[in-house]
Each structure stands twice: as structure tokens, then as C-alpha cells.
Structure 1
């Protein structure tokens, strides 16, 4: 979907007129109308406001142009409900809600996360833990959080 379709769907899903939506986010009805026709798009600051007000990620507002992955554990973030939030309620599209909670990282070290993965990830081939640990470590090391 395109941004203009997403914005119109959000407004309709919330049973708002263009006037009501405009008032709720502090813009004119004409601005909402131009967004919904695709004539213009909300700027970065307005996308942040829309994201917080209507509980959708900016990536979703933009039509999901990129596949998000948690930059701590590597899990695909295919649904906004999986994306972490900052303490002020804004989405943090870099991390899942399990790795980053209330402005803090759950895993204080890569070893802590590796221990968790070893104990919780299926191992149908009965691969030795040392080999699995090395495999997980090689993938985690490519993620932003651990590449520092």
C-alpha cells in the first residue's frame, strides 16, 4: 500500500473525519486531504506524531519499504506489535520488544543472548552446542548492536 492509502485507512479505522484527524494531530483539514490524495506526504516530524498517535510504526506509515530485523537478535519484525518502544512511547524500529524494553537492553552481553539462544532454539540435528554457539555468534556479529 502507498502512504496515502495507509493514512486514509488509519483515519477511517478510527472513525474520524478529515477535520477530526487534522485537529487530533494539529494540522489543517487541507493537509490531511492532500496526504490522502497523494498530492503531498507528511514530513518526518509529522510521521513521528502520526506514529505515536495512531500506534503504527513509521515503516508501516511509509508502506513498509524495508524489511525490519531486530539489530540485537536478528528476528524479523514483520508486525508493529513486535517492535520495541522508547520510554516516551515512540517506536524503536531497530529492536524487537523482547531485546529492548523500557529503554534498556535485555541482554547485557552477547554471551547472555547466546546462552538464551542455545537453551531455547530447536536443535533437531543434535548439533553440538559449541558449533551452534559459533553459528549464532557469526550471525549476531553482523547486527548493529553487536558490531560496535
Structure 2
């Protein structure tokens, strides 16, 4: 489900009007309306606030299918030439990328280390600022299989 559909549905399930939601988020009603009709989309940090106000998981508001991602770093396997990781016996492991999992070993010992080392690549690929990339990864990474 798209962000605009998820937002509208979650708001309506809580019996809130656009005005009531906007008051809790300290934005205009028009901002909520534009989000719900797909004209604009809020930042990751605003989505965190929306999730808190509507009591929904933040990942639900990111419109991401985590099954299509490396289950350690979140890089999409749709990236051209994205190599899969390998198990200790050399067999390909389709859940992880080579940069996170190689020869049966994970390259990162904590979510923080992963985010610190990979946020610059996300910034380069998407044009996000450092704060945006770190915030995005902070929401995504805990929802990936390796970190649960």
C-alpha cells in the first residue's frame, strides 16, 4: 500500500480528521491533504512523528517491501550487479549482499556500525543529507532479519 493510502487509512481508523492530525503534527491541514492525495511526501523524521501520533510502525509509513532488500543493510537487490553473499561453504545466500555477508561471516557487529559505514553510500545514491540517511536507516535496519 502506498504512503498516501496508508496515512489516510490509519488516520480514519483512529477517527481523526485531517485538521486533528495536522494539529498534533504542528503542520497545516493542507500539508496533510497534500500527503494524502500524493502531491507531496513528508520527510523520514515527519513520518516518525506521524507513526507516533497514529500508533503505527514507522516502517509501515515508508512504503518499503523489506523482502526485496539485503536483510542486513537494506540495499535493494534491484540495484544492477548487486552481488549476493556467500555461506561458509561458498554457496550463494540470497538474503544478504556480499558487502554484509561473505564466507558465512557478517561484516558488521552492530546496527550503529552498519549505519555509520553505509550511510555515505545511501547519501551518494539518493542525494539525502547525512541526517536524512541516518534517520532513514535507523528506521529500516531494525526491521531487517539480521537485526531482529
Report the TM range for the smaller structure's normalisation. 0.3 to 0.5
- Give me the TM-score of the superposition, normalised by structure 2: 0.46
- Give me the TM-score of the superposition, normalised by structure 1: 0.46
The structure in which a higher percent of residues are helix is 2
